[in-house]
Amino acid sequence: MNAHKRQSVPVRSMQAWLRDALSGVAQPTTVNEIAQLTAKWSISKREHLAIECARSLLSEAAHDENVRILLAKGIVALLPDSMTQVEQLLNSKSREAAEAQFSLFAFLDDAAPRLKRAEDRKKVLRLVLDYLLGAKHNVAWAPWMAGDLLGDHWPFDESTPLLMEAAKHGRFVAGREAALHGISQALERVPKQLQWELVGTLKTVAVTDRSARLRRYAQALLTDLRRV
């Protein structure tokens, strides 16, 4: 039997279990609320909750969207003490993991203001970049959400270099396409100098990408820019 499923909390009790772990806070619970509640916990207690959240995200419990969202918020709120679990989830290839990855990417930007150490922020971004570089399929739209996270939600001075790298060097179409989506979002909010760098990446992809579909996508984004 899969270890994650063997040790996970049954679906019916998942939300109640997590609310109990978080001192009984009722839904809806935000990332910041969870972070505030757990801020004074010991590191070992925070790490234990992160482990339980990750186990359940990779189990049948993750089929319940409300449960999955709550668990993903818990993982994000526990950063940097949940860094190992974020890495574990982003490296997993199962269907449950893809849905969990989508939810993680939807809330990871909430961690950015709270991660005060540069090395922690770089670690999170490196995990997202590695995910995009290796994303083989657009299962559950998880790669798309990773591109959206970097392009529209994370501070652009840190995230745009990663989008350009993934757009040019992603091993599979899914990751490169997600990076192009992120670039399309970033173009609307970055200063002029970064816009030119992003446009340069689009021009490179439009000419050199080995996928005809992605070359057309990059060219379409360039065409849209000329119309603005």
pLDDT digits (tens, 9 = 90+) for 186-222: 999 999 999 999 999 999 999 999 999 999 999 999 9
| pLDDT score of 1 more than 50 | no
Q: 180-190 pLDDT, tens per residue?
A: 999 999 999 99
How many distinct helices (H) and strands (E) make up the chain? 13, 0
- Average pLDDT value over all residues in the chain: 88
| pLDDT score of 108 more than 90 | yes
Which residues have a Cβ under 8 Å from the Cβ of 147 and sit 6 or more positions away?
A: 132, 163, 166, 178, 179, 180, 181, 182, 183, 185
> Nearest 5°: phi and psi at 40?
-95, 5
pTM recorded for the entire structure: 0.88
